[in-house]
Copies of this chain bind each other. A is one copy, B any other.
Amino acid sequence: MASFLLKSVLVVVAVFFISSMAQASDPDILSDFIVPAGSTIDGNFFTFTGTRDIFGSIIEKFKVTKVIKAEFPGLDGQSVSLAVLQFPRGGVNPPHTHPRAAELLFIVKGSLEVGFVDTANKLYTQTLQVGDLFVFPKGLVHYPYNSDWNKSATALSGFGSASAGTVSLPTTLFATGIDDQILAKSFKSDIATIRKIKAGLSS
């Protein structure tokens, strides 16, 4: 009996946490920072050490390490996040959008080709060297690509939201179950081609 009631109470607490996560928003807050319910905080709350070994790591395929509100609660209400992008030789971050922020990319190692398409369907491209920056405007389709087959590359990206979100387009379009017919019509293609692309992305 008691354990049933205790569980009920815990469910309420859990439900509350989930909900408060979902409700938090990027606009200005009315306090210096947002303390999670029931927490006592010190300097550790504002610290993230999950990327401590990142610069020494060797990667074999493109890898993005996000430092956002989900992993680092101290960012809640502060409207900022960062990501480390690691590219092997010839690696690409497939075309994607961030629904909730622009991205400011900073090349810290190697070089990258980047591009984005605006809502008037114009493609903007650039080749970047170490120390260069490029801004991908909010919500637009963009990609960075390491065209160098001899060197890996690393970039750091800043975002003006603690939770920018990512919509990776190959996966979103061809690996979430959207009907073949709808895709074939939309891409002015045929079902066989759609299935071929789906097969490649699911493997």
Contact flags A1-18 to B (C-beta < 8 A → 1, else 0): 110111011011101101
Considering only residues 134-174 of chain A, those with a C-beta below 8 Å from chain B are: 134-141, 143, 145, 156, 158-163, 165-174
- Taking CB as reference atom, which chain B residue is nearest A186? B94
The residue that A99 contacts in the complex, of B37, B97, B128, with Cβ under 8 A, is B97
Interface size of A as a range: 35 or more
Inter-subunit contact B167/A186 (CB<8 Å): no
Identify the interface centre among A36, A90, A135: most chain B CB within 10 Å of its CB. Answer: A135
CB of A21 closer than 8 Å to a CB of B: yes
CB of A131 within 8 A of CB of B32, answer no
Query: Could you list some 25 contacts between A and B, CB below 8 A?
Result: A6-B8, A16-B19, A19-B35, A23-B23, A28-B28, A31-B165, A32-B138, A47-B134, A51-B106, A52-B130, A52-B131, A52-B132, A55-B130, A72-B133, A74-B135, A79-B161, A82-B156, A92-B182, A99-B139, A121-B171, A122-B176, A140-B167, A141-B167, A169-B173, A169-B186
Whether B79 pairs with A178 at a CB distance below 8 angstroms is: no
- Asked if A85 CB lies within 8 Å of chain B CBs, one says no
Interface residues of chain A, those whose CB is within 8 Å of chain B, are 1-2, 4-6, 8-9, 11-13, 15-16, 18-38, 42-49, 51-55, 67, 69, 72, 74-75, 77-82, 90, 92, 94-95, 97, 99-104, 106, 108, 113, 115-126, 128-141, 143, 145, 156, 158-163, 165-179, 182-183, 185-189, 193, 196-197, 200-201, 203
A145 to B136 CA separation, bound complex (whole angstroms): 31
Within the complex, the shortest CB–CB distance from A167 to chain B, in Å, comes to 6
Does the CB pair A80–B201 fall under 8 Å?
Answer: no
CB-CB under 8 A for A187 and B174, given A42-B124, A75-B135, A80-B101: yes
Q: Across the interface, name the chain B residue whose C-beta is closest to A24.
A: B30
Partner of A123, one of B8, B129, B178: B178
